[in-house]
Structure 1
Amino acid sequence: MTTLSAITSNELNFLVFRYLQESGFTHAAFALGYEAGINKTSIDGNMIPPGALITFVQKGLQYIELEANLESDKLEGDDDFSFLQPLDLITKDVSELQRIMKDKKQNLLKEREAEKERREKDRDKQERDRDKVEKVKELEREKDREKQPKDQKESFAEDLDDNKAKGKSEENGVCGGPEPMDITPTPQLVASDIHSSEVTILEGHGSEVFACAWSPTSSLLASGSGDSTARIWTIPDGPCGSNMLPPQVHVLKHFKGRTNEKSKDVTTLDWNGEGTLLATGSYDGQARIWSKDGELKNTLAKHKGPIFSLKWNKKGDFLLSGSVDKTAIVWDTRTWECRQQFEFHSAPALDVDWRNNVSFATCSTDNMIYVCKIGEGRPVKAFAGHQGEVNAIKWDPSGSLLASCSDDGTAKIWSLKHDKCLHDFRDHLKEIYTIRWSPTSSGTNNPNQQLILASASFDSTIKLWEVEHGSLLYSLNGHRQPVYSVAFSPNGQFLASGSLDQCLHLWSVKEGKLIKTYSGGGGIFEVCWNKEGNKIAACFSNSTVCVIDFRM
């Protein structure tokens, strides 16, 4: 009679493990079980008995089967996700394992759905926030699809001169303004083209250039773009043109790494009064402070939405920002801390403007305008009257009158002494995007000239308003597409305008006539004059900035 030899549990484990391995079972569950059985080690702190491999193998086979059942509806991107822990495999039966896997999968699906819903809401909000910018981009794209030939432009210019003599432009269907009330008529000026050889084109931006501003004390020009950068250009003295020396440039990156980030598009910028610091507002909700040499000094992060407006007060001790998050923030420039956050609007704030060093106004897509003061917990004044989004607000040079313009097609003038507007200008046919006061009247360098308000509209016209009586002086009808920006010269005698029709026009304020024009390579988002009044900058949708000499 043959005696059976004894076999240890380790030997049994090894025989089973080798059998399974040679049969093609290479799942990690078997290897883990074997190691646990051989070495009497623990899983998650629990000791595994030496003879546990047989049960463990059974669990492993069942786990493979469960995985196979789930393979058909496996969650995308979850290749490394583990529904079961090793301890589960040796301590729970199949029904428990199935319940665990089902519960964990359902929880994961719920989390994914919640995350997806949150991302969709964020994406929808971002789309709503970008509405203003996208509206302009769409108009520009439409313009690109139907670019007019050059001879058509020349024909239009000839027709325009004839129509201007009649005080009317039939081309765009907008009536011209009345004869000036108290301005002596003079012979009509003839517009002249500005040749490209007389223009310096600044290249380097990788996307639309939304904003530009001259330093108030030097020849530095700042520009902000959709490429997530701002740039500070040093414009050489002397005439502009192709022979001008290449300007020195500092690139102000609003992102980290090698590639730009669309969430950091530069939407607005402003120099302090001394020209030593540049503030930029970005689509990421942060304001950044830069030296004139392009060094990042501070990052102000409190807003929870894109910043659409940013202004220094005259003294330079406070910086004001307005955001899509519905709030305005006053920043103390000595500490760069938030001095006060104003939360009065029920919708995105589109523009802010200082009245003096301690009080300011804000406007919003909620159709409201609020006048606020540092230290006050409630608005000093609330102006209601617009029936559409209020796109821009501006205080006159004395700080006594506030002008506003809206998608309702009106421009209004307000006073803190009255609850209703003093003047309600309704001659535009479409949305009014921007307004500007002339640097004239008492308290300015041009005290003997009357105060004028310019309004620029999507109806392709600019209107000049006499403020004292609230009457229309001129309707400037030279553009063929929405006018996005206007700027008075420092002496108040000339007006520059930029349109999505790709044209920069220069007007005589006294005559209400077009005197010079330049046709660029894209829609114009902003125009500005240097402090001497002899150079004009314009930023374009084709990623360029142009600088033009102005001499009469």
Structure 2
Amino acid sequence: MALSSNVVNYLVWRYLQEAGFGNAALQLSRCWLRDPDSLPFAKNISPHTLIRILQDGLEFDKLRAEASNTVAQYNFGTDHGRPYSARNGDLLTLDKGIPAHELAAEAANGVVQEPPPKKGVKRKKQPKTNGVPAEPRLERSEPEVNGDPMELDQHGTTQPTNSVNSVRAESEPAPSEAESPSVTDIPISTLRIGADALIQTDDIADLTAHTTFIPAPKDFQKVVEHSSWGPEEAPLLLAAGKSILQLHNVAKATTQGDEARVITMDLPIPVNNFDITALCWQSEGEITVSAREQCVNEVGEKMTMDKLIKVVGDTSHAISSTAGLVTTLRWNPGMELLLSISTDGEKGSIKIWKHDSDSIPAWADFTATQIYDAYWISDAAFVVCGTELFKIYEVDGESLTTQRTLDTPITWETIKYDTSSGIIAALGMREQQYYLGILHPNDSINLQVHEYPDRYPNDLDFRVQSANNTLANGTSLPSTLLATCSLSGHARIWDANEPFACVRRLSTTDDSQAFKTAFSPDGTLLAAAGPDAVTIWDVEKREVPIACWRAKQCPASKWNPSVDGEFNLGWDHDSSRISIALGNQIAIIPIPR
């Protein structure tokens, strides 16, 4: 597509509005076109298009440099100076320091004052029409070139420009002095008074200073491998792993910069020298864990025992010692069923427990290959995935039946389910190639598969749908959003209803590796995190992050990103905090709302 002057000017005009520079946008429209929104292509321009074009250009330059093994042409460094948003504040003042909302009110009354004249510009007295001064015309002391010496015309060719009106389209006649628009002729929209100031690309909150670190256990043999926030009735963080099972009550900080108070409680379980391999919340006061205990028998032989244990408050009891090495626990609140997935050599084991007093599962089944993940998709059905395995089961009365088996040569490692749309998504790999899979209810017998475009994808999550998932201008993103992340330093957002349409490709803070990704429980924010950084986006407002957290800005004694261990990410129930965990390190990061 050939760029024209009108297209370029319109994109700049829209950016100036969206960034809060109302006076600059007003001046541009006065020098160029009375009503830019009347241009025939204006209805096709989505919010923040200029920013997206520039970002795409930078990404293309980066990819071109990588492909040709050369240096990127565009590099603005890490110091971009003082942010405009910090200078202008919430009201985004204009040239004379008048808050934009006051200027808008004055414009409605026809008393808007002109900004002070610039050097090199002479002003003539203008006749009044019905008591209102006509639009002042600008005369320059000497001819000047407007912008670049050559301007793009409607056909993509160049032509010289000699005046401030030369950027007007050929089809747009220059207004006469009598027709020249006054300031009051051009309405000032909410964008011009700063309502959409959040588009500022450098307005990224730094969350590092407000982090609360949970004290690490003094026993170095204790290592956190799992963490999980409790339900709304119990906003506690459960941490479990090698010889550790704790609940942390983290108060919300009352003063910025102060760490919140943390109360920690060890949960008693009837095992010693254990390793928690899986866990799940059942209610605000009930938790089920799988513990592998290292013990020595009466003749001195070392052996391991796997137990399912239910914890209720400050008491606990073993459910079963026959569940095997459990890697996944899923609770079904509707039917009050506990699903456990375990491995036995190269085979997978599925067990469903109906009562926590039963030592033997109510239903069981086995697969020929390993199972890596499972998810309840209804009160009676669940899906499992693994090595060349994608299978849906149903609990039908007193029996466990196979609803359908999908043939696949891929090893699926992670699976998620969206309750609103009924879509199942999974990440997997085969022969060093990674894949994203979608099983749509409209085509429930065909697993749609797509080669993942980034290196080393490792997590995915669906967004909870809500009435708030709408852009400021009334439009909205696709109804079913699926987020994925990878170690390449990118997160992607997909339209799960249109496999495989990538809605956005987002860059993480400092291009850091993302091990985990998750939407906030209210569906408004997306987090992608790894040991080095956490990135937060408001996907409805902009593609640039709204906040970030960097490990390098934390004391090494409290967070060391090079520690070996399982990395965990989780949201509090009210979307106000996230937790990250690595080794014995747990950080609670408040999120600005």
User: Normalised by the size of structure 1, how large is the TM-score?
Assistant: 0.60
Where in structure 2 are the equivalents of 1:121-520 lying within 5 Å?
166-167=58-59, 170=62, 187=199, 189-190=201-202, 192=204, 194-205=206-217, 206=220, 207-216=222-231, 217-225=233-241, 227-239=242-254, 243-244=258-259, 246-252=261-267, 256-257=271-272, 260=273, 264-272=274-282, 274-283=283-292, 285-291=306-312, 293-305=313-325, 307-315=326-334, 317-325=336-344, 326-333=348-355, 335-364=357-386, 366-374=387-395, 375-385=398-408, 387-398=409-420, 400-408=422-430, 409-415=434-440, 418=443, 420-421=445-446, 423-440=448-465, 450-470=479-499, 471-478=501-508, 480=511, 482-500=513-531, 502-510=532-540, 511-520=542-551
Distance in structure 1 (CA, Å) of the matches to 2:342 and 2:503 = 35
Deviation at 1:167, TM superposition (A): 4.8
Indicate how the Cα distance of structure 1 residues 360 and 200 shifts in structure 2: closer, same or farther if over 3 A, else same. same
Would the alpha carbon gap of residues 339 and 256 (structure 1) be closer, same or farther in structure 2, given more than 3 Å must change?
A: closer
Q: Which one has a larger percent helix, Structure 1 or Structure 2?
A: 1
* Equivalent position amino acid for 1:295 in 2: T
Matched letter for residue 509 of structure 1:
V
Find the aligned partners of 1:467 and 1:194 in 2 and give their Cα distance.
31
TM-superposed CA distance for 1:350, in Å, is 1.2
Q: 1:202 to 1:241 in 2, by over 3 A?
A: farther
| Aligned match of 1:550 | 591
Work out the CA distance in 1 between the residues paired with 2:257 and 2:199: 34
Distance 1:254 1:162 in 2: 56
Deviation at 1:319, TM superposition (A): 1.1
Give identity over the alignment, percent.
Answer: 15
1:333 Cα deviation (Å)? 3.5
Q: CA deviation at 1:221?
A: 0.9
Unaligned stretches of 5+ in structure 2? 1-51, 68-195, 293-304, 471-475, 552-559
The residue type equivalent to 2:573 in the other structure is K
- Give 3-state SS (helix, strand or coil) of 1:170's partner: helix
Query: Is the radius of gyration larger for structure 1 or structure 2?
Result: 1
Unaligned runs of 5+ residues in structure 1 are 1-159, 175-183
- Secondary structure class of the residue paired with 1:483: coil
CA distance in 1, matches of 2:331, 2:203: 37
Q: Are residues 192 and 445 of structure 1, via their aligned partners in 2, closer, same or farther at CA, if it must alter by over 3 Å?
A: closer
Rate the CA distance shift 1:161–1:434 in 2: closer, same or farther, 3 A: same
The answer (yes or no) to whether the contact 2:212–2:260 under 8 Å persists in 1 is no
Superposed CA RMSD in Å reads: 3.4
Residue type of the alignment partner of 1:219: P
Question: Could you tell me which amino acid in structure 1 is paired with residue 389 of structure 2?
Answer: M
CA contact (8 A) 1:361 1:371 kept: yes
| Matched-pair contact (CA < 8 Å) for 2:225–2:567 | yes
Question: How far apart are the structure 2 equivalents of 1:487 and 1:394?
Answer: 11
Q: Which runs of 4+ in 1 moved over 6 A?
A: 171-174, 444-449
- CA distance in 2: counterparts of 1:497 and 1:505, whole angstroms: 5
Contact 2:514 2:530 in 1 (8 A): yes
Give the whole-Å Cα distance in 2 for the aligned partners of 1:403 and 1:537. 24
Given the two structures, how large is their TM-score scaled by the length of structure 2?
Answer: 0.56
Alignment-mate amino acid for residue 328 of structure 2? S
Contact 1:233 1:248 (8 Å CA) reproduced = yes
Aligned to 2:555: none
| Residue 363 to residue 336, structure 1, CA distance change in 2 (3 Å) | same
How many positions carry a matched residue from both structures? 369
Shift in Å, 1:256: 4.3
Partners in 2 of 1:168 and 1:312 — Cα distance? 45
Q: Aligned-pair distance for 1:303?
A: 2.4
